[in-house]
C-alpha cells in the first residue's frame, strides 16, 4: 500500500516566513523532484515523480501565467485591461477566469467582486495604518463587477479595475495538474501558496489550521486526488483599538466583511472553484456557505466559526480529529 503524506498548510499569506509549508512527500524515490520558488506573489512549491526538466517546465508555465495575469507587469492582460478605455482582446485563459469570477459574483449575491481592487489597494495589512473614510468612500464608487462586458475574448471593464488574486492561483494550479498529466507524471503535490492539489495513488493528510493560534490544528483531512483551499479572517489583518480588520473586504462598506466564519476550507476537483468558493463562504457566512457547497457537485467544505466550532458538509465524516470523504 502507498504510504501517507502529511501536509500542513495555510493559504494566501503574503509573508514568506509565514507561507512556509511542511510538505513531506512520503515514499520518496530517486525520481522524486521538489523545488520551491517565489512566483505569483507567493511561495510556489512543486513536488512530483518526474525528472528535473519536467519540474522546470512546470515553473516556466507558472511564469507564463504570472506574466499574463499580473496587475503590475505592463504587458499582462490585467494591466492592459485596467488602463484601457473600451474593449481589449485578451487570452482565452484571462477571459475564462473573468467569466468564472462573474459567475461566483452572482452566486454570492454580488459579494465576491474582482473589481474590488480600488478598495483592496488602500489597505496595507503588513502595517497598522488604515485608509481614511473619504478614501474608502471614493473607491466604493468604482466597484461593480456587473459593469464588465465580454464579447468573445474581448473584455471591457467600463472604467473598473480588476484583481484576479482571489481566483487566478486556482486556475493556474489546475493548468499545472494538466501539464503534469500530459507528461505522464503519476503523483505529486502542487502548492501555490496554499492552493493545494494532491494527485496520485496514495493518501495525503492535510492539517486545517486553528485560527488565531500558534501552529495548532483544528482537524486533519485525509485526501486523494483532490484540491483543497482555505480562506480565513486570521490570515492577514490589522488590529486597531481592540478590533480586527481582516483582508476579506465588504464591497459595500470598504471594510472587513462581517461574518460568523473565521475559516473555510473547500475540497474539490477544481482548484479554481475551491479558490473562489473558499472566499465566497467567508463573505456569505455559515448557513449560506453550507447551502452553496451542498449544491455544488463534487465539492465539500469544513468551516470554523468565530467560536472555534467545527462544521462540515454532508459528504464528509469525522472520526477523532480526522475528516474523510464518505
Contact in structure between 199 and 48 (CB atoms under 8 Å) = no
Do 175 and 140 belong together in one domain? Answer: no
Q: What is the mean pLDDT of the chain?
A: 89
pLDDT-above-70 percentage for the chain: 91
- Shared domain for 124 and 211, answered yes or no, is no
CA-based nearest residue to 197, from 231, 167, 168, 226: 226
Asked, for residue 129, whether it belongs to a domain, the answer is yes
Same domain membership, residue 116 and residue 259: no
pLDDT band, residue 239 (cuts 50/70/90): confident
pLDDT in tens, 303-314: 999 999 999 999
Q: Specify the pLDDT at position 129.
A: 80
Q: Encode pLDDT of 86-144 as tens digits.
A: 999 999 999 999 999 999 999 999 999 999 999 999 998 887 788 999 999 999 999 99
Nearest to 282 by CA among 314, 250, 310: 250
CA distance 202 to 28: 12
Contact by Cβ (8 Å): 282, 257? yes
Q: Is residue 180 included in any domain, yes or no?
A: yes
| In-domain check, residue 131 | yes
Chain segment 167-194, per-residue pLDDT in tens: 999 999 999 999 999 999 999 999 998 8
> Residue 204's beta-bridge partner residues?
5, 223
Task: Please check the confidence at residue 29 and state whether its pLDDT lies above 80.
Answer: no
Query: Where residue 67 falls among pLDDT bands split at 50, 70, 90?
Result: very high
- pLDDT for residue 175: 98
- My answer on whether 197 and 150 are in the same domain is no
| pLDDT value at residue 143 | 97
Residues 195-199 have a mean pLDDT of 96
CA neighbor of 228 nearest in space, from 284, 270, 285, 258: 270
Which three cell numbers, joined as nine digits, stand for 165?
A: 488574486
How far, in Å, CA of 207 to CA of 220, rounded? 4
The count of other CB atoms within 10 Å of the CB of residue 151 is: 10
Q: How far apart are alpha carbons 299 and 270 in whole angstroms?
A: 9
Number of domains in the chain: 2
Q: Which of 101, 126, 156 is the last residue of a domain?
A: 156
* Domain shared by 249 and 313, yes or no: yes
Q: Would you state the pLDDT for residue 169?
A: 96
Domain limit, last residue, from 126, 156, 186: 156
Alpha carbon of residue 88 to chain centroid: 26
Flag whether pLDDT at 25 surpasses 80.
Answer: no
194 and 302 both lie in a single domain? yes
pTM: 0.89
CATH of the domain at 114: 1.10.3980.10
The secondary structure element, H or E, covering residue 266 is strand 261-268
Q: Are 125 and 133 in contact (CB under 8 A)?
A: no
Residues 150 and 172 in one domain: no
Same domain for 47 and 129? no
**Cα–Cα distance, 66 to 77 (Å, whole number):** 10
Q: What's the confidence (pLDDT) of residue 237?
A: 84
71 occurs within a structural domain = no
Owning domain of residue 133 = 77-156
Average pLDDT over residues 189-206: 94
Amino acid at each position: 500500500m502507498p504510504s501517507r503524506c502529511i501536509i500542513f498548510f495555510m493559504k494566501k499569506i503574503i509573508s514568506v516566513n509565514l507561507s512556509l509549508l511542511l510538505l513531506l512527500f512520503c515514499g520518496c524515490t530517486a525520481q522524486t523532484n521538489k523545488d520551491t520558488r517565489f512566483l505569483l506573489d507567493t511561495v510556489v512549491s512543486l513536488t512530483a515523480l518526474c525528472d528535473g526538466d519536467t519540474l522546470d517546465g512546470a515553473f516556466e508555465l507558472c511564469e507564463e501565467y504570472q506574466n499574463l495575469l499580473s496587475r503590475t507587469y505592463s504587458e499582462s492582460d490585467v494591466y492592459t485591461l485596467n488602463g484601457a478605455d473600451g474593449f481589449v482582446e485578451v487570452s482565452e485563459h484571462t477571459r475564462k477566469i473573468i467569466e468564472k469570477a462573474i459567475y461566483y459574483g452572482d452566486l454570492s449575491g454580488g459579494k465576491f467582486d474582482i473589481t474590488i481592487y480600488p478598495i483592496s489597494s488602500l489597505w496595507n495589512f503588513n502595517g497598522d495604518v488604515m485608509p481614511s473614510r473619504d478614501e474608502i468612500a471614493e473607491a466604493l464608487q468604482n466597484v461593480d463587477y456587473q459593469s464588465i462586458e465580454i464579447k468573445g475574448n474581448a473584455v471591457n471593464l467600463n472604467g473598473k479595475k480588476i484583481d484576479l488574486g482571489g481566483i487566478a492561483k486556482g486556475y493556474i494550479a489546475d493548468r499545472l495538474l494538466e501539464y503534469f498529466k500530459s507528461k505522464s507524471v503519476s503523483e505529486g503535490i502542487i502548492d501555490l501558496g496554499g492552493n493545494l492539489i494532491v494527485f496520485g495513488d496514495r493518501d495525503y493528510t492535510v492539517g486545517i489550521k486553528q485560527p488565531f493560534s500558534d501552529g495548532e490544528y483544528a482537524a486533519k483531512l485525509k485526501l486523494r486526488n483532490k484540491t483543497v483551499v482555505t480562506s480565513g479572517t486570521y490570515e492577514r489583518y490589522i488590529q486597531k483599538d481592540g478590533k480586527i480588520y481582516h483582508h476579506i473586504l465588504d464591497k459595500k462598506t470598504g471594510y472587513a466583511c462581517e461574518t460568523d466564519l473565521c475559516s473555510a476550507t473547500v475540497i474539490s476537483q477544481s482548484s479554481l472553484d475551491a479558490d473562489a468558493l473558499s472566499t465566497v463562504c467567508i463573505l456569505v457566512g455559515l448557513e449560506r456557505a453550507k447551502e452553496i457547497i451542498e449544491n455544488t457537485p463534487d465539492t465539500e467544505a469544513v468551516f470554523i466559526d468565530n467560536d472555534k466550532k467545527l462544521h462540515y458538509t454532508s459528504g464528509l465524516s469525522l472520526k477523532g480529529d480526522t475528516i474523510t470523504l464518505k
